[in-house]
Structures are given as structure tokens and as C-alpha cells.
Amino acid sequence: MRRLLSYMKKYRKESFIAPLFKLLEASFELIVPLIIAALIDKGIETKNVSLIVKYSFILVLLAVIGWVCAVIAQYYAAKAAVGTTAEIKSSLFRKIQSLSNTEYDTLGNSTMITRMTSDCNQVQNAVNLFLRLFLRAPIIVFGAMIMAFTVSPRAALIFVAVIPLLAIVVYGIMLLTVPLYKKVQSKLDSLLAITRENLNGARVIRAFCREDDETERFDKTNTELSTMQRFVGKLSALTNPVTFLLINVAIIVLIYVGAIQVNVGELSQGEVIALYNYMSQILVELIKLANLIVTVTKGVASMHRIDSVMELKSSISFDGNGAVENGSVVFKNVGLTYKNAGAPSLTDISFEAKAGDTVGIIGGTGSGKSSVINLIPRFYEATEGEILIDGKDIKSFSEDGLRDMIGVVPQHAKLFKGTIRDNIRVGNQNATDDEITEALKEAQAYDFVKEKDGYLDYMIESGGRNLSGGQKQRLTVARAIVRKPRILILDDSASALDYRTDAALREAIKGLSFRPTTFIVSQRASSVLHADKILVLEDGECVGYGTHGELIEGCEVYKEIYYCQFPDEMKGGAR
């Protein structure tokens, strides 16, 4: 909770004004029963019209003042709550952006989305209600008890007896519900994960007729969440009936005692009504307090979940200050074991790529191709061995110095909602339209982009839904090229392209004026055939490194891949 208070520092004024005006409203409200008692005893009982009018005017005035105080308190409480939550969301988003892929894999996207949305909203509601009620409720409860002593010390003992019982009920329910609300939010993570998977994989689910299975899986998780929510809701709901029971028993005892005291002349009718009003005020405030406790309990559970992300430390730190200049890359006995993995994904990988060279990486599915190239921009940290860029340890570079000089085209094309220009400028914010056009031409994307309505202003939908797979891949290639990187990584980025376009793209990349060191990951032998060097992987190990001719002669794995794709050449060789 200290973290929450640190976010609220910027809204200290609002956090002070909101409870202050609620305190003023409560103070005026505590005066009302005394005015009513005077109205009954001095005005109505004596039929004094002038006093009746006077006290009625005072009651209206107190109501107006209380209303003004309530509006001011509500405004500043909402401002503080919304502002504080905005700070939390910004800080949480920055934190998530600073984490490495290892933390993403560990946490999962669905839980991070839940914490950015549902959990932050729960915290906002808790802060809002807390600022409005954390002073008002105790002031009314204990203030009513004190005011009752000024009316009748004997009758006020009933207040002294009932308030501790109420405190025990409220505190006990809160202790039970806080850990349960954490479990509810975790279940919500699971439900969100299933929903996200189904939305992203809708085509696959339909293609394999898995709609019923997925509906059953969703219903099961949804039922578990609903069951837990109902159980926690029932516990929280106990607050109101138990509170009502204790207060109504106290009111019965109060009226009984008050009637006896009226009979013997120790109390007036107005004073009994004043005591009843004070007890009713306690009842109303405790109902509000019950709602406050439920909301704050949810908020506390959600804040703990947010804290767990904020306290995470990235497994990769950038402590250096160097920058990539030439782009030569050397792997020395590099190994990689993913967190919580049962076995290494890469073992003893060694190779050298000179500046300006093109290196092809080929191998079967799951051989570790993407794992190798993910180590170059330090998306993951090598667990063994050493990686050198420009002859220096990769850890000696700053984050900007390393990644600003690397252009990455991911295996699955990712585009954002916005214009083509905006998407290309993700690679280089300062790119001019001429530079973007040049990058589109080199990526073999210019021909289809120029046909789009608006050209560079053509609006791409989220995820590039209004583009074909090949169009998306070519735009991601253009996005990487426009930054003119020293190292260019193409991770199976031509899988949706026909062979002709793939060949034209490779030829264009080979002729780039800024001559990057290029890594081409592919399962197509034709894509790496003319590379300066080819790295062959199998089960996370390097089984070959050399030119096409060298590998055909000395690498059985490469030979098998190549002849599977070019069987005619194998027959020709046999003849």
C-alpha cells in the first residue's frame, strides 16, 4: 500500500479536500437530531409557530450546506482517484515494457492485461470510496455515540455496547474476504486467457470443429469463477444483515429504555427521537462502511497483484554504454535454457558472421533457429557462452545502442492500427516519405501499396486484418529496412511469399546501400542457398556451418533438407 500512497502524492490537495468536506458534512449531520429534538420539545409541544419556522429553516440550511460539502468532496475524491489510477497505469505500462521476454513468458499476456484493466479499475473505485467515507463513517459512528452521551448518559451505554460488536463483525468479514478476492482475480486471469486464445484462434477452432469443446472449456472456467464470486459475495453480504440485526436490537432496547425514562421524567420525547436518529445514523453509515470495506478489500487485493508486477526485476539489464557500429557477430559456445524449461534449447553454438555478410539459418521445426536470433538483440539472455558484436561483449552495449542498430522482422507479422506511414515509422520515427517509399520498394511492397486508396495514408486495421499474409510480411520487412540497421534479422519472414517475390526480396536486401549483416531464418533451402554462410541446426545444436557447397559435401542434415526440397538435383547427381 505504500506504493499506492506514493502515487497519491501528486494529488495531495485533492486527497485532503475530499475527506475534509466529508468531515464537515458529517459534523453538520450530527447537529440535525439535536435541532429536531428542540423542534419537538420547544416548538411542536408548546405550539410555538415562530420556533417551528426557525428550527425548520435551520434544518433546510444544514441540508443545503451538507449538499454543497458532499458535491465538493465527491468531485475532489473522483479527481484524486482517477488521477492516481492514471499514474498507476502509466507506471505499470512502463514496467511491463521494461521486462524481458522471459518475464512475459512467465506472467502471461492475459494476466498483464487483467492487471492493467480490471485491477486498476478496482483500485480506482477503492480510492474514490475511501476518500469519501474513511473519515465520515467513523466520525458519524463515534460522533453519534458522543452526542448520545450529551442527551442521556444512561441510554448512551447501549451505543457503547453495540459499536464494538459491529467492529468485530466488520473486521472478521474483511479478514475472510481479502484472500478470496485475490483468488477471484486469478480466476478472471484464466477466463481472459481462454477468451483471448479463442478470439485469436477462431479460424483454427472452426477449421477443426472444436467449437463445442472450447465452449465447454469456457463454461467450466466461467462456472468456477462465478461459484467463487458468489461464495465471496455471500460472505461480504453478511455484513449488512448482521449489522441490521445488531442495530435494530439496539434500537429496540433504546426505545424501551427511553420510554421508561420518559415516563419517570428523565427524558423528553424529543430527546428519545434524537437518540433514535443517532442510532439510525450509525445504521446508515455502517451500511456505507460495509460497501466501503467490500470495495477496499477488492482494491487491496488488486493492488497486491499490481505490486507483484511492479516488484519484478527484468532478467536482462543494460549496464553498458556502447553502440553497434559495424555489425559483426560472433557466438562462442553459446547455450540457452528457457526459464522453467526441462532441457536446454541451445547447446554449444559457435559461429562468426563478418560485417556485411549474409548468414542463413536453417533447420527443422523446433531446432532452435528463432532462439539463436533472439539472443542477438538480447530478447533473451544466453545462459552459457559469450556473444560478441563488433568484437565486444553484447552486455557492454546500452539498450538503445544495441537495439537501435538492429532491424527485426518477426516470424509472425505484427502491424498496428494506423496508416501505412505510421506503421513503417515504427522502425524510424524521423523517416521521410521518400525514405519510406524507398524501403517499400526494397521490401517488394511498393506495387501493392501504391494501389491502396490514400497510398501511405491507407488505414491498416488492428493486426493488419485488412491485408493478406504476404502483404503484412513485406510491410514488416520495410519497417525494419527503413531504420537502416547495422544488423538485419529476418525470422522466417518470407513464408507467405511466393518463390519469385522471395527471390526478388533477397536480391534487394543483398543490394542495400548500407550493407547490414543479415540473418535469414528459413525452412526453405532456396532462401539461404546463396548466403555467405549457412548455419544448420538440429535439436538446438550446430551440426554444420559453411557455404552451400561445403554443407552439401559434409553436412548430412543440410543435404537431407536440400534434396527433400530439390529432389531432381539429387537424381541428376545420381546419374
Q: Return d(Cα 469, Cα 471) in angstroms, integer.
A: 6
pLDDT, residue 570, reads 63
CB-based burial label for 54 (10 Å; 0-12, 13-18, 19+):
middle
Instruction: Tally the C-alpha atoms within 13 A of residue 412's C-alpha that lie toward its C-beta.
Output: 2
Q: Return d(Cα 270, Cα 419) in angstroms, integer.
A: 73
Q: Return d(Cα 184, Cα 226) in angstroms, integer.
A: 9
Say which DSSP state 484 is in: -
Q: What is the three-class DSSP state of 542?
A: strand
In the chain the domains, ranked by start, together with CATH numbers, are 2-310 (1.20.1560.10), 317-405+487-496+515-575 (3.40.50.300), 410-484 (3.40.50.300)
Q: Return d(Cα 247, Cα 231) in angstroms, integer.
A: 25
Q: Return d(Cα 152, Cα 160) in angstroms, integer.
A: 13
Per-residue pLDDT of the chain (575 residues; tens, 9 = 90+): 677 878 888 888 888 998 888 888 888 888 888 788 788 878 777 777 888 888 888 888 988 988 898 899 999 999 999 999 998 899 889 888 888 888 887 777 777 888 888 888 888 988 988 888 877 877 887 787 788 777 777 777 777 777 788 778 777 777 777 678 778 877 877 887 788 788 777 888 888 888 888 888 889 888 888 888 888 888 877 777 887 787 778 778 877 777 877 777 777 777 778 777 877 777 777 777 777 877 887 788 788 888 888 888 888 888 888 888 888 999 999 999 988 777 888 998 999 999 989 999 998 888 888 899 999 998 888 889 999 999 899 988 898 898 889 999 888 888 888 999 999 998 888 889 999 999 999 988 888 888 888 888 999 988 888 888 888 888 999 999 999 999 999 888 777 778 888 888 888 988 888 899 999 998 888 888 888 999 999 888 898 899 988 888 888 888 888 888 887 666 555 43
pTM (predicted TM-score): 0.72
Look up residue 336 and give its three cell numbers: 540457452
Residue carrying C-alpha cell 510480411: 473
Cβ-based neighbour number of residue 331 at 10 Å: 23
Q: Return d(Cα 105, Cα 453) in angstroms, integer.
A: 39
Residue carrying C-alpha cell 537502416: 484
pLDDT, residue 575, reads 34
Say which DSSP state 492 is in: S
Q: Return d(Cα 49, Cα 32) in angstroms, integer.
A: 19
Q: Return d(Cα 343, Cα 337) in angstroms, integer.
A: 7
Residue 400 neighbours by CB under 8 Å, 6+ apart: 323
Q: What is the three-class DSSP state of 356?
A: coil
Q: Return d(Cα 103, Cα 101) in angstroms, integer.
A: 5
Instruction: Tally the C-alpha atoms within 13 A of residue 374's C-alpha that lie toward its C-beta.
Output: 22
Identify any residues that bridge with 349 across adjacent strands, giving them in sequence order.
334
CB-based burial label for 60 (10 Å; 0-12, 13-18, 19+):
exposed
Amino acid at 225: L
> Do residues 528 and 520 lie in contact, with contact meaning Cβ atoms separated by under 8 Å?
yes
